Amino acid sequence: MKILVINGPNLNMLGIREPGIYGRATYADLCDMIRAHAAETGTEVELYQSNHEGDLVDKIQEAYGKIDGIVINPGAYTHTSVAILDALKAVAIPAAEVHISDVDSREEFRRISYVRAACVATISGHGFDGYLEAMDLLRDNHEG
Among 43, 50, 73, 113, binds ligand DQA (CB under 6 A): 73
Q: Residue-wise over 48-63: b if at least 16 C-beta within 10 A, else e?
A: bbbbebeebbebbeeb
Provide the 3-class DSSP secondary structure of residue 95: strand
- Restricting to residues 76-115, name those near ligand DQA by CB under 6 A: 76, 78, 99-101, 103, 110
Among candidate residues 77, 99, 114, 131, the one labeled active-site is: 99
Q: Respond yes or no: is residue 22 known to be catalytic.
A: yes
Task: Please identify, using beta-carbon distances, which residue of 8 and 69 lies nearer to ligand DQA.
Answer: 8
Instruction: Based on the shown chain and the rule CB under 6 A, indicate whether residue 122 belongs to the binding site for ligand DQA.
Output: no
Note if 131 is an active site residue. no
Nearer to ligand DQA, 39 or 120 (CB): 120
| CB distance 115 to 83 below 8 Å | no
Active site residue ranges: 22, 99
Chain residues in the site for ligand DQA (CB under 6 A): 10, 73, 75-76, 78, 99-101, 103, 110
